[in-house]
Structures are given as structure tokens and as C-alpha cells.
Amino acid sequence: MLFAKKLLDRNEYLLDKNKLPVHIAIIPDGNRRWAKKRGLPSIAGYRQGSNILKQIVKFCAEIGIQHLTAYAFSTENWKRPKDEVDSLMSLLQEFLSKAEQELSGSNIKINVIGDRTKLSKKLREEICRVEEMTKVNSGLQFNIALNYGGRDEILFAVKQISQDVKDGKLKIDNIDIDKIAGKLYTYNIPDPDLIIRTADEKRISNFLLWQSAYSEFWTCNILWPDFKRKNLIEAIKNYQNRERRYGGI
């Protein structure tokens, strides 16, 4: 175990700390498949996935990542069986309630993005409590995409801008990219440099549609509950070896 840790630490040092992605976003797929392979209920996979997420959050804070966003629950996930949705919501409530204890000393700021109106009052209160509790922290900002959908987010922004035009606060000719970005849930978060998706899935699945215009994608066949720090290091090293031209030469 000690040798393995030393080897991991050496791999970490191979990262160019001057070329770290500012913002990493993760679509943590494969929780249900992980559980099914082991003859376990789906929630067991999500619980293990939750434990892995905590480890990855703390590791990102350790190596100097400024923003990490995880796709926790999409607007489409409501279509799943009610008992599974209820279990997921309970797990999210538990995750948030223990955040202070489990992320203690990490200087991590927690932020939730998405439409909160469909969430239970208890979960909304827990979100507000954790955000308030961590708002003064100056390390990694951990963004939890909860009841989040990229199309819904853009629709929300369009409605806000339309209202501003209707109220005479904004002229149509003054609507630009910055005005739209300023109305998104991520108005104060830089666009993701690197998006990671596990379980050999290669779709964007309605995640950060606007923000991912120039993101680098990295996918792997690892199920999320089996994802390790070494896999994150591999993804970052791959990112650092790419040339980002943003449409230029």
C-alpha cells in the first residue's frame, strides 16, 4: 500500500501545475451497472459513487483545481422509477448534510446549480445551509448540478433576457454572448476546460451545453464507482498534452 501511494504521488508530480485545467466537469456514469454486476440494488452503486465523488473532490482541492462540477441529477432523471428517484434524493440530502464533517479542513466552497423549484423544501433548506456555511471558503468551488438540464438553463436565460427587454432594462441590439452567459446558472463560473465522462459513454446528455463550446472531452470505460485518483491524473495529463486553439490556427 505504501509503495502504491508513493507511485501515485510520483504520477501526481508529473502534472504540470502551470497547465492545470481551471474547471473540470464530470458526468459520473455507471453507478447502476456497477451495482447490477454485483447483484446489488441500484442505490448501492450510487452510494459507492457518492463516496468516490467525495474522494475526487478532496483530491482536486489538494492539487489546485479551482472549479469542479459534478452532474448529480438531471432534469431527465425524474423519468426513472419513483423509488429510485426518492433514494437518490435521500442520498443527495445525506451528502449535503455530512459535507461540513467530511470536507472539513479542505477550504471547499459548495455551490448548487439547477432548477431548485422541483426539489423538496427540506432539500432546498439543506442546500442553502451548506452554501451559506461554505461561502467564505477560498479553495476549490465544488458545483453540484442538481435538477440541471442544459436546454432548461438556456431557456431560463432567454426568459430572463426577454423580461429585461420587456421592462425596458435592455435593448435587443445590446444582447450579446456575455449578456446570455450572465443569465445562466453558471454566471459566476468559468466554462469547463475539461469534461470527463465515465462508463464508456460519449454523449453530452444535456450537460453544460452553452459552457462546453470549447471544452476538451476525456472518456473512459471505467464505471464511476471504480474511478480512482490515478484515473483523474490520467485525464489531466491527457488534457495537458492537447493544443487548445479555440478555432484558431
Residue type, 87: S
Separation of alpha carbons 191 and 213, rounded Å: 8
Strands (E), the chain: 23-27, 67-74, 109-113, 141-148, 194-197, 216-219
Cβ atoms of residues 131 and 111 within 8 Å: yes
Q: Which residues contact 162 (CB under 8 A, 6 or more apart)?
A: none
Separation of alpha carbons 224 and 95, rounded Å: 17
Active-site residue flag, 77: yes
Q: Which of 9, 18, 31, 77 is catalytic?
A: 77
Cell of 114: 439547477
Cβ atoms of residues 153 and 75 within 8 Å: no
Active-site residue flag, 164: no
- Sheet of 67-74: strand order equals 109-113, 141-148, 67-74, 23-27, 194-197, 216-219
Annotate 198-227 with b (16+ C-beta within 10 A) or e (fewer): bbeeeeeebbbbbbbeebbbbbbebbbbbb
Cell of 217: 472531452
Q: Which of 29, 31, 143, 193 is catalytic?
A: 29
Report how far apart, in Å, the C-alpha atoms of 207 and of each of 96, 108, 121, 153, 196 are: 21, 23, 25, 10, 11
| Active site (catalytic) residues | 29, 77
